Structure 1
Amino acid sequence: MRRALAQPRFRRLFWSQTISRWGDTFSAVALVVLVFRLTGSGLSVAITVALEVVPVLLFGLVAGAVVDRFPRVRVMVVADVGRAAIALALAVFGDELAVVYAAAFGLSTLTTFFNPAASSVVPALVDRDDVVGANSALWSAAVVSQIALAPLAGGLVAVAGAGPAFALNATSFAVSALLLRGLSVAVSMAPIPGGAEGPAGRLAAVRAGLAAVRRSRLLTTLAGVQALAALSAGATSALLVVLAERHLDVGPGRFGLLLGAIGIGAGLGPLVLQRFVTDVRRPSLLFGPYLLRGAVDVVLAAFSSFGLALGALAVYGVGTSTGHVTYQTVLQTTVPERLRGRVFALYDMVWQSARLVSIGAGGVAAEAFGIRAVYLLGGALLIAAGLLGLVAVPAARLGGDDQSASYVETP
């Protein structure tokens, strides 16, 4: 991480994302509190969450094509400026439910463009050997920000209302845009298939990206693995509070400790990876964390000890963070630059769509069969995801300097 952060261009990206995540934390807390205060309805809160997911499904493929066609820093700056304007409007006019819904949709839409651009640009800002450190730094900053600032955000909303939290978010996006404006990145943009411009060109680019994924064993396997993992994690993450009350028999205070255990593990994961691993491009490191997380879900379902649950969830956090850093790094170092935005956007779509199905099905299953059944099934799905990856992706072909040619054919 130190070597990555020592590189000035990466530091700009790091601080832009970290500062905007500070604002995101305040906004996320304020948004759900505001909606519940305006309506008193859990359904309205659920609609808000859905409005944050739907743009990924609607615009994800187009966003990936845009990221691969236009300068990625410009895409991020435009997204930040737009998000700053929406957050500011929310701070001023947030007492209207329709405005809140529209803002949630708009913020998520622009984030759908920002995220694949940010993920795609990392390898251009650091040396190849420092990509793991760069991803570790970004992940660790995000986790620490959430753990440290969520309680402060709750306190601010309780004392001053949601407006100041949204204003802070607007400011964070503005600062991020200013930092990114000075970022110089030399990358080759993807040509438009067939030379078509406008909507026809975007559609052709989307098709070319999907074709490249279909021709790659690694990328198709990762898509299946992501879908299985999201089908598990959507329900188990959303229903952890139910597990705490009905199975572990603990109240809100101890539930907070369970969340804290996940956060501690997630923060430690990248440090463990940096300390003991020199090359993450191994199937065992890419898919092993799914097996680890699946085993944790089975343990949580099988035992009702609070102490055991704390330790297991810390391990789950380690698996989540090491898996995420490895996943990001493998894609960034194996997918050709001109395809990277479309690949990241596609996987965001796969994850969010499967997550939505999981949340809905998990709630029904918890009522019909009990929360332990949800966690047993979630564990089975994660274990299946890990085994699928280990079987489908040979170790000999994931590493080495020629993996791009071996695994990703460009259209």
Structure 2
Amino acid sequence: MTGERHGTAGYREVFALRAFRALFTAHVVSVVGDQLARVALVVLVYDRTGSAALSALAYALTFLPALVGGPLLAGLADRYPRRTVMITADLVRAAVVAAMAWPGLPWQAVCALLVVVQLAGAPAVPARSALLPALIPDSAVMRTGIAALSTVTQLGQVLGFAVGGVLVAALGPGGALLLDAATFGVSALLVAAFVPPVAVTGPHALGWWERVRAGAGVVWHDRRLLVLVGYAALSGTYIVGEALAAPYAAHLGGGPAVVGVLFAAYSAGCAAASLAVAALPESVQLRLMPLLAVGTGVPLLGCLADPPLPVVVGLFALSGAASGYHVVAQPTFVLRTPDAHRGQAVGFAITAMQTAQGIGITLGGLAAERTAPHLVTGAAGGVGVVAALVLAARWRAVQRRA
């Protein structure tokens, strides 16, 4: 089979694979459950403390442990069968989230258990990414599968946040957390029942620290992988618009509904573009990737002119659409890394992306304390354009050497 296959055929072929259907369904369930849990956690902490700052801290804890767990725990996906790693991570998270729902549990204990949940999940995504090439040997079809997973991640986040408030109101925070625990159980069951075990190639005698160093070395000594990590980290620039959605909505004279529209605009653009990009031949995707990366920042430059809400929504949607370059960069990175160190390498890439996003969100928030949000968003877009142009030059250079 050829890598120049068009994505339309790829979607039929990838969803014809029972193992991929199981991974896809498990991912959908987990993403929606995760967003539901975030809403429940914020409500629970706020109800028990009455502190907006502590509830915001609890929300931040849903992201921070992955910065440590990514590089330190991703190697488990290379040392043990990846299917086993995914199932174990889901079962541990199901048990811990269920414990978080225990009535009367101090909120400090809930936050501590949340850190355990996030650390337990750190090797799960690298394990899934590393497993895909073995389950889908055709690279073009695998790219299509990753596009489908990326799209459902965006849609699942929107759906989870939208439904989360309703379910938390109906079930209470404890009931919502139990529902999230059930989603992890369903995910583990689907993987156990329908995803075949695949042996990990390469040396298994490496110790934990040796494996971390080997995975880091794979990325550090491959210039193409370094550029792809740079493309992952680029998200730290255009995410600033999302991070400032609340003050930006207030600047535009809107309330919570406008905040939701701004979030949805980015996610909708990203989801639609991811499907469209994956429908192109692989060679076209690789040529488009640098252009799309530059395109994530260009629309945000329009925010400098302080346009009205409909225009801002359109600019956010265009920026989100350009971020569809991730469905090219991610499978290219996965296919480029040796199977023996693939999980660890993916963990480093995820950590780089999340670190960049955290820095972008923090700097954007600090800047918005002194400057209008539309100016901060536009400036972030400018930084993104410059960074993307540098990455494009580096990408062309490594491609020429190949």
* Structure-1-length-normalised TM-score: 0.88
Q: CA deviation at 1:281?
A: 7.2
| Pair 281,31 (structure 1): closer, same or farther in 2 beyond 3 Å | farther
Counterpart amino acid of 1:253? Answer: A
Counterpart residue number, 1:331? 333
Counterpart amino acid of 1:115? Answer: V
Q: CA deviation at 1:217?
A: 0.8
Gap regions ≥5 residues in structure 2: 1-10
Which of 186, 202, 223 is equivalent to 2:198? 186
Which of 67, 74, 92 is equivalent to 2:84? 74
Is residue 228–residue 385 contact of structure 1 (8 Å, CA) maintained in 2? Answer: yes
CA distance in 2, matches of 1:223, 1:390: 13
Of the structure 1 ranges 113-122 and 262-271, higher mean CA displacement relative to structure 2 is found in 262-271
Counterpart amino acid of 1:137? Answer: A
Tell me the SS of whatever aligns to 1:324: helix
Which of 274, 277, 283 is equivalent to 1:273? 277
Counterpart residue number, 1:317? 320
User: Are 2:247 and 1:242 aligned?
Assistant: yes
Which of 36, 48, 55 is equivalent to 2:46? 36
Q: How much identity, in percent, do the aligned residues show?
A: 29
Alignment of 1:207-356 (within 5 A): 207-230=213-236, 232-246=237-251, 248-275=252-279, 277-279=280-282, 283-320=286-323, 322-356=324-358
User: Are 2:122 and 1:112 aligned?
Assistant: yes
Counterpart amino acid of 1:235? Answer: V
1:104-132 CA distance string (max 9 Å, x none)? 21111112111111111112112322012
Aligned length: 390
Q: CA deviation at 1:331?
A: 1.3
CA distance in 2, matches of 1:99, 1:293: 40
Which of 112, 128, 131 is equivalent to 1:102? 112
User: Are 2:157 and 1:152 aligned?
Assistant: no
CA distance in 2, matches of 1:143, 1:229: 14
Is residue 228–residue 384 contact of structure 1 (8 Å, CA) maintained in 2? Answer: no
Q: CA deviation at 1:190?
A: 3.5
User: Are 2:3 and 1:3 aligned?
Assistant: no
Q: CA deviation at 1:296?
A: 1.8
CA distance in 2, matches of 1:274, 1:215: 29
| Pair 5,270 (structure 1): closer, same or farther in 2 beyond 3 Å | same
Tell me the SS of whatever aligns to 2:85: helix
1:15-71 CA distance string (max 9 Å, x none)? 111122222122121111222222222221232233233322222222222111111
Q: CA deviation at 1:6?
A: 0.7
Counterpart residue number, 1:409? none
Alignment of 1:84-99 (within 5 A): 84-93=94-103, 95-99=105-109
Is residue 229–residue 381 contact of structure 1 (8 Å, CA) maintained in 2? Answer: no
CA distance in 2, matches of 1:56, 1:169: 19
Is residue 281–residue 330 contact of structure 1 (8 Å, CA) maintained in 2? Answer: no
1:120-160 CA distance string (max 9 Å, x none)? 11121123220121112212222333333432221121233
Is residue 51–residue 105 contact of structure 1 (8 Å, CA) maintained in 2? Answer: yes
| Pair 352,329 (structure 1): closer, same or farther in 2 beyond 3 Å | same
| Pair 284,383 (structure 1): closer, same or farther in 2 beyond 3 Å | farther
Counterpart amino acid of 1:301? Answer: L
| Pair 257,282 (structure 1): closer, same or farther in 2 beyond 3 Å | closer
Counterpart amino acid of 2:210? Answer: A
Of the structure 1 ranges 309-318 and 220-229, higher mean CA displacement relative to structure 2 is found in 220-229
Which of 351, 376, 383 is equivalent to 1:381? 383
Counterpart amino acid of 2:278? Answer: Q
| Pair 101,396 (structure 1): closer, same or farther in 2 beyond 3 Å | closer
Which of 104, 121, 145 is equivalent to 2:131? 121
1:252-299 CA distance string (max 9 Å, x none)? 223322222223212211231134x11167554333222111012211
Tell me the SS of whatever aligns to 1:368: coil
CA distance in 1, matches of 2:301, 2:105: 44
CA distance in 2, matches of 1:281, 1:80: 37
Counterpart amino acid of 2:179? Answer: L
- Give RMSD over aligned pairs: 2.2
Which of 196, 199, 210 is equivalent to 1:204? 210
Q: CA deviation at 1:250?
A: 2.4
CA distance in 1, matches of 2:200, 2:362: 41
Of the structure 1 ranges 334-343 and 233-242, higher mean CA displacement relative to structure 2 is found in 233-242
CA distance in 1, matches of 2:283, 2:384: 20
Is residue 86–residue 103 contact of structure 1 (8 Å, CA) maintained in 2? Answer: yes
Tell me the SS of whatever aligns to 2:122: helix
CA distance in 1, matches of 2:234, 2:24: 30
Counterpart amino acid of 1:78? Answer: T
Tell me the SS of whatever aligns to 2:307: coil
Is residue 2–residue 133 contact of structure 1 (8 Å, CA) maintained in 2? Answer: no
CA distance in 2, matches of 1:340, 1:68: 7
Is residue 283–residue 395 contact of structure 1 (8 Å, CA) maintained in 2? Answer: no
Tell me the SS of whatever aligns to 1:78: helix
Counterpart amino acid of 1:109? Answer: L
Tell me the SS of whatever aligns to 2:102: helix
Of the structure 1 ranges 325-334 and 281-290, higher mean CA displacement relative to structure 2 is found in 281-290
1:186-207 CA distance string (max 9 Å, x none)? 3433315xx45xxxx1111111
* Structure-2-length-normalised TM-score: 0.90
| Pair 340,381 (structure 1): closer, same or farther in 2 beyond 3 Å | farther
CA distance in 2, matches of 1:292, 1:353: 22
Tell me the SS of whatever aligns to 1:92: coil
Counterpart residue number, 2:5? none
Tell me the SS of whatever aligns to 1:261: helix
